[in-house]
Structure 1
Amino acid sequence: MGYSFSFGVLLMLLVALVLSAFRILREYERGVVFQLGRFWKVKGPGLILVIPGLQQMVRVDLRTLVLDVPTQDVISRDNVSVKVNAVIYYRVLDAQKAIIQVEDYHAATSQLAQTTLRSVLGKHELDDMLAEREQLNTDIQQVLDAQTDAWGIKVSNVEIKHVDLDESMVRAIARQAEAERERRAKVIHAEGELQASEKLMQAAEVLARQPGAMQLRYMQTLSSIAVDKNSTIIFPLPIDLLGGFRRE
């Protein structure tokens, strides 16, 4: 009786040991297998066999991961303090490097992203951060991708989400924008005056060619005044008439 019970327990342990050797990896997962502490191979996806006691497996997710970079205090090249945060999209291309070359690739990528964000943005002025965001995203992505390549990680995209300014800086930018609009309005007004003066000069040249053209223009002006029910009469005084008084 005791012998059969021990045999049954042993058989159950053996079955459990065999079943524990089988692992199922999803399509987006890979298993980095170590045999007696040394790297053996990368397995998956599907059903794989891991010998208990001799082999250990580490699962690696190959899907694109989203990393939210915390808000960073950045001083721009023109000495303006801003707060910037971003989001990074990356994925593991080489599972072996991601497990062997770095202790925690997710934490390492997060810390590297924070320092790179401060370093790259600190080389640009505030106007570049606000107007050239696409180019800054590309610069940060290229720097990160070059450094994470040794970890088997591909940084596919970087997006700067917010650039928060101090309240005094917001007011300064508003004043600058208002001054710029006033400058444009004055330039447009001056250009209009210039065009009007050129047209008036052309009209004067045309009227000077015919002596009666001025009288016709005078009659047209009187008719325009009469439409408004105005009792004021405008009588043009020729300059030639005054010339005789000057000679006397």
Structure 2
Amino acid sequence: MTNTPQSKIDLTEYHKQTLIEKIFKVFAILLILLFPIAILFCFKVVKQYKRAVVLRFGRVRSDSPAGPGIIWLVPCTDSVEFIDLRTQSFNLPPQEILTKDSVTVTVDAVVYFHVTNPLKSLLNVQSHKRATELLSVAILRNYLGQYTLAELLSSRVAISDNVKLMIDKGTIEWGVQVQRVEIKNVLLPFELQKAMAAEAEGTRIAKAKIIEAEGEIKTAENLKEASQVIMENPKAMLLRYLQTLNSIASQQTTSILFPFPMDLPSSH
């Protein structure tokens, strides 16, 4: 009787396959349970005043900047950065500036700007707001030093417009456009304020004396013309005399004594 070889089953191999199947089953169950939750993280809502720059494996995705509305993200591969397009502002700290005529003044200003290119503002500079602020301070200090104190006080609007154009040239590479630059205040040293006040007071006093002297000159000329008229017509002196008495009596209640009869001018 021939003995047929019986196949032997490797129990160890069978046991390993069972563990792998169990592991895959657990992963499948977790995937089914977590899929509805994970799908929620694949969507992002971009607001109307923002734009989204999506990076996939560190590179800019072709549809960036995206928005507004709902955008699709792949978990673990995509990252998103939101860029605000609204107008932003910042106050420049007070700057001590030496003017062209060697006067030290303190100037503070405010800058308004907004992002026009979200890609440049994210890729070309680390912080576009901080960079714009530092550039504005440097340009303001360098530019205002070219003006005298009188020009700085009288031409603030024109100076602000020129500073805006200069800042805008530097921020265009960062996707930032400067809208307005306003010089809020120019503070003078206290000693200089006293000197300017004394100078202005002296100028006003000098102008007042000149006006008073011109008035006396005109008065003397008018009196000269009046005397000539009275000399040509003596009756005018009597009328002037009576007019003076009437003016004195109308001001207050007084008793006026004057000689009577008066010497009336003759008709010839």
Q: TM-score of the superposition, structure 1-length normalised?
A: 0.81
More deviation, 169-178/205-214: 205-214
Residues 46 and 224 from structure 1, CA distance in 2 versus in 1: closer, same or farther, beyond 3 angstroms?
Answer: closer
Deviation track 1:1-42 (CA, whole Å, cap 9, x = no partner) reads: 876543222334544443222111111000112333333321
Residue aligning to 1:25: 46
More deviation, 102-111/216-225: 216-225
- Measured in 2, the distance between the counterparts of 1:107 and 1:65 equals 12
Deviation at 1:122, TM superposition (A): 1.2
Residues 224 and 156 from structure 1, CA distance in 2 versus in 1: closer, same or farther, beyond 3 angstroms?
Answer: closer
* Higher-Rg member (1/2): 2
Residue aligning to 2:97: 74
Structure 2 regions of 5+ residues with no counterpart? Answer: 1-21, 260-268
Residues 167 and 10 from structure 1, CA distance in 2 versus in 1: closer, same or farther, beyond 3 angstroms?
Answer: same
Residue aligning to 1:162: 185
Q: TM-score of the superposition, structure 2-length normalised?
A: 0.76
More deviation, 3-12/219-228: 219-228
Q: Secondary structure at 1:43's aligned position in 2? A: coil
Q: 1:123 aligns with which of 146, 149, 161?
A: 146
Q: Does structure 1 residue 34 correspond to structure 2 residue 34?
A: no
Q: 1:190 aligns with which of 213, 218, 228?
A: 213
Residues 232 and 150 from structure 1, CA distance in 2 versus in 1: closer, same or farther, beyond 3 angstroms?
Answer: farther
- Measured in 2, the distance between the counterparts of 1:138 and 1:42 equals 31
Residue aligning to 1:52: 75
Deviation track 1:178-197 (CA, whole Å, cap 9, x = no partner) reads: 12221221232123223323
- Measured in 2, the distance between the counterparts of 1:12 and 1:173 equals 81
Residues 173 and 34 from structure 1, CA distance in 2 versus in 1: closer, same or farther, beyond 3 angstroms?
Answer: same
Q: 2:168 aligns with which of 145, 156, 181?
A: 145
Residues 19 and 187 from structure 1, CA distance in 2 versus in 1: closer, same or farther, beyond 3 angstroms?
Answer: same
Deviation track 1:136-180 (CA, whole Å, cap 9, x = no partner) reads: 222222222222222221211112222222221121121122122
Aligned length in residues: 233
RMSD of aligned alpha carbons: 2.7
Please tell me the residue identity of whatever aligns with 1:34. Answer: L
Structure 1 regions of 5+ residues with no counterpart? Answer: 234-248
Q: Secondary structure at 2:51's aligned position in 1? A: strand
Deviation at 1:116, TM superposition (A): 1.5
Residues 196 and 12 from structure 1, CA distance in 2 versus in 1: closer, same or farther, beyond 3 angstroms?
Answer: farther
- Measured in 2, the distance between the counterparts of 1:13 and 1:33 equals 24
Residue aligning to 2:204: 181
